[in-house]
């Protein structure tokens, strides 16, 4: 946590990130195995098998790269201060949101993963500042959840209920 009592810094959890990185590497290996085993397997369509292996290697390769970047990222995963909230918890973190722009926070669940949703008054304002890839991913998030801004505790050093508590108390404390 930070030295400033008005600021809360939640560090990234290197152990969780390392575990996610290992899982991504296992799926990359699976993708390569599928590619190699395609000729020997007469039961499956070879084009389908190659497509699945390429998708597996591409997606989990991207996850592994983001995991490596986060593993060595010295910045906190989440910072809350009197100005707003700064998310740095994932490869597609939204960055900084001002308290006065936040309308509501809510919780949703996707299978076993709980996600904190942050609704803002003008999401386009924040999205236009981002690079095209991040903007595209966050637009997909907006279509799924009604907001592009969400946080999971998967890479943070706090559990989900603590994450929700920190954000909600920051919002009630700092919003005008």
Burial (CB < 10 A; 0-12, 13-18, 19+), residue 157, is middle
DSSP state of 51: H
Mean pLDDT of 29-52: 83
Selected residue with higher pLDDT from 52 and 175: 52
Q: What value does the mean pLDDT of the chain take? A: 88
At a CB cut-off of 8 Å and minimum separation 6, what does 62 contact?
91
Q: Is the pLDDT of residue 165 over 50?
A: yes
Mean of pLDDT values over 23-47: 85
pLDDT of residue 5: 62
Residue 12 has pLDDT above 90, yes or no: yes
Cβ-Cβ contacts under 8 Å for 8 (sequence gap 6 or more): 1, 2, 78, 79, 80, 81, 166, 170
Each residue of 52-81: pLDDT tens digit?
999 999 999 999 999 999 999 999 999 999
Q: Where are the alpha helices (DSSP H) in 38-156?
A: 46-71, 123-127, 132-145
User: How many CA atoms within 13 Å lie on the side-chain side of 163?
Assistant: 26
95: pLDDT strictly greater than 60:
yes
Residue whose tokens read 């939640």: 10
The pLDDT value recorded for residue 127 is 82
Q: Which of 18-22, 24-28, 128-132 has the lowest mean pLDDT?
A: 128-132
Statement: residue 2 has pLDDT above 70: no
Going by C-alpha positions, the residue among 171, 131, 168, 155 that lies closest to residue 78 is 155
Q: Compute the average pLDDT of residues 82-107.
A: 90
What integer pLDDT is reported at residue 128 of this predicted model? 82
């Amino acid at each position: 946590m930070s030295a400033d009592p008005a600021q809360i810094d939640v560090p990234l959890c290197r152990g969780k990130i390392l575990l996610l990185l290992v899982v991504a590497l296992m799926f990359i290996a699976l993708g390569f195995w599928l590619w190699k085993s395609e000729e020997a397997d007469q039961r499956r369509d070879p084009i389908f098998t190659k497509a699945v292996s390429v998708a597996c290697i591409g997606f989990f390769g991207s996850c592994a790269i983001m995991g490596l970047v986060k593993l060595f990222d010295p910045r906190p995963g989440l910072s809350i201060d009197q100005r707003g909230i700064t998310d740095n918890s994932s490869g597609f973190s939204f960055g900084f949101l001002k308290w006065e722009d936040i309308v509501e926070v809510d919780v949703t669940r996707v299978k076993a993963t709980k996600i904190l949703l942050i609704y803002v008054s003008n999401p386009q304002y924040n999205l236009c500042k981002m690079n095209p890839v991040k903007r595209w991913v966050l637009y997909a998030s907006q279509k799924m959840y009604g907001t592009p801004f969400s946080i999971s505790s998967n890479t943070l050093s706090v559990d989900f209920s603590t994450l929700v508590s920190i954000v909600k108390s920051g919002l009630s404390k700092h919003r005008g």
